[in-house]
Amino acid sequence: MAACAGAGGNARTEPAEASGDGVLRVGLILDNTGDNAFLNAPQLAAAKLAIQEINAAGGHKGRPVELLPVHPDQDAARQANGLAAAKADVVIGPTDSSHAASAVEVLSHSRIPLMSPANTAGGLSGLASGGYYFRTAAADVAQGPVLAKLAKDAGAGTISVLYQDGSYGKELSAAVTDAAKKSGLTVLPGGGFKAGAAGDAARGAGKAKPDAVVLIAREGAQGALSELNNAGLSGSRLILSDGAFARYGSGLPSRVLEGARAIVPGQLPTAAFQGRLLAVDPALKDLSYAAETYDAVTLAALAAARAQDDAGRSIAANLIPVSGGAAHAGAGAPAAPCLSYRECLGGLAAGPDINYDGESGPVAFDSNGDITAAVFSVYTYGTDNLPTLSGRETAGHSG
């Protein structure tokens, strides 16, 4: 991941003097276009909902929090420039990991924190931002221990890992392999493949005869599943990464995925949260990244409340403490969780340490601005090769 020339120092851990103007302004980068444009609506609705509820609880120091106008027709860097000019104190977004560096390049120089609800690329943990980059979505590699655990929980003693070439596949494959070995599983031959050319890797895994196969892929997943089936590996022996999760149905022969499991980051929004979102946008059809967006806005407001200042540098310096996270190893146990802006604000009145657990689950930022507890929904496939929600797993720790 190429570093950007962001502000120096580390705003996540350095003390900051109050320098705000008294109004907390939130910006939103909506970078989804074309077929992905539908992802803009849930993020916008969630940001509006969070700000409504923050203002209903008194806003920031008695003044309403403002949501700045959005411009999804512009690229991420241009949106970032516009938000900096509009005096944003914190910006939520972007969705696409490949757009993070350009947005951070702009915002870090203006000392404005960027909090993405959707960036998952592993390399972003090392993005040079001067401490102004955070994300409420887990990095892809956080799936590693969960995928290994699913294999072990089902009684596997040996696994093979097949991965599609690319940073996603290679980084997650390494994480799965490491977690599997640490849990006592034996890792048998697997290997990488290019989309549409998984035959050799699948046949190699078939010859190794593992108890379970972890498939890490995106657009090449369906072809890889077909090749694995041809190699005698199907059904409950298969465990799919989030990129390989899909409603395959008749796209694969009947029962090929019966009993297979897959994971998806996050948890299903509660009925209450869905209802509150629909009250903001009755036309809402999708909830992707809504919970993570809502939590990002709420955390930013709590950080401003803890600092008693709305400036971006003050927000960046207080995000780790209000999330229940720790900037250094060996920190004490986090405070008991609080579950809303209003409740957490009451906690701040009693002391500086709070631990916001939101609609997306625990957050607990670390020194990289990454969350240290990631929730995953587990799906199990039926005879029709369609997935049904069957459980939940948490990776990492909540404090």
**pLDDT of 332 above 80:** no
Retrieve residue 281's tokens: 């946008």
Full 3-state SS string of the chain? CCCCCCCCCCCCCCCCCCCCCCCCEEEECCCCCHHHHHHHHHHHHHHHHHHHHHHHCCCECCECCEECCCCCCCCHHHHHHHHHHCCCCEEECCCCHHHHHHHHHHHHHCCCCEEECCCCCHHHHHCCCCCCEEECCCCHHHHHHHHHHHHHHCCCCEEEEEEECCHHHHHHHHHHHHHHHHCCCEEEEEEEEECCECHHHHHHHHHHCCCEEEEECCCCHHHHHHHHHHCCCCHHHEEECHHHCCCCHHHCCCCCCCCCEEEEECCCCCHHHHHHHHHHCCCCCCCCCHHHHHHHHHHHHHHHHHHCCCCHHHHHHHHHHHHCCCCCCCCCCCCCCECCHHHHHHHHHHCCCCCECECCECCCECCCCCECEEEEEEEEECCCCCEEEEEEEEEECCC
- Return mean pLDDT, the chain: 94
The pLDDT, as a whole number, for residue 356 is 97
Give the pLDDT score at 181.
Answer: 98
How large a percentage of the chain has pLDDT more than 70? 97
Q: Rounded to an integer, what distance in angstroms lies between the CA atom of residue 237 and that of residue 227?
A: 14
Q: Residue range 138-160: average pLDDT?
A: 97
* Residue length of the chain: 399
Q: Is pLDDT above 90 for 399?
A: no
Q: Which residues of 368-385 are buried (b: 16+ CB within 10 A; e: fewer)?
A: bbbbbbbbbbbbbbeebb
> In this structure, are residues 282 and 5 in contact, taking their beta carbons and an 8 Å threshold?
no
At residue 3, the pLDDT reads 39
- Phi and psi for 190 in degrees, rounded to 5? -140, -115
Tell me, what's the pLDDT at 6? 43
Read off the pLDDT of residues 235-253 as tens digits, 9 standing for 90 and up: 999 999 999 999 999 999 9
pLDDT, mean of residues 210-224? 97
Nearest-angstrom CA–CA distance, 258 and 54: 45
pLDDT of residue 325: 94
- Report the predicted TM-score, pTM, of the whole model to 2 decimal places: 0.89
Residues 6+ apart with CB under 8 A from 390: 261, 378, 379, 380
Q: How far, in Å, are 236, 304, 312, 317 from residue 18 at the CA level?
A: 56, 10, 10, 11
Percent of the chain with pLDDT over 90: 90
